Amino acid sequence: MNVSKLEKHLLAAARAQRPSEAVPYAFEKRVMARLADRGRRDWWAAWAAVLWRAAAPSLAVMLAAGLCALWLNPANNASDTQNSDLETTVYAGLDNLGEAW
């Protein structure tokens, strides 16, 4: 079958049948209502959706950082020296308290 002949035949059939001029009931009001509704935006809902989407990756990063810290920090007895260093640092300001008065 000849493709160009078929194309001409289909175009002639489409041109012979004109589209209806009738518009559905309240078509204009429906279109205008959808356009007006589209303009309003709930920014709080959009912000909440973004935060919920960011929650899972943040949790994954936190878990990865925690596991990395546990894996890279060998278990040794440095906690005693860290505690004494902390006490020294915290109480250093109190030692000089008598000299200030």
How confident is the model at residue 83, as a pLDDT?
80
How confident is the model at residue 98, as a pLDDT?
64
How confident is the model at residue 74, as a pLDDT?
64
Domain boundaries, the chain: 42-72
DSSP string, the chain: --HHHHHHHHHHHHHHSPPP----TTHHHHHHHHHHHHH---HHHHHHHHHHHHHHHHHHHHHHHHHHHHHHS---STHHHHHHHHHHHHHHHHHTHHHH-
The answer to whether the predicted template modeling score (pTM) of the entire model surpasses 0.75 is: no
Residues of the chain with pLDDT under 50: none
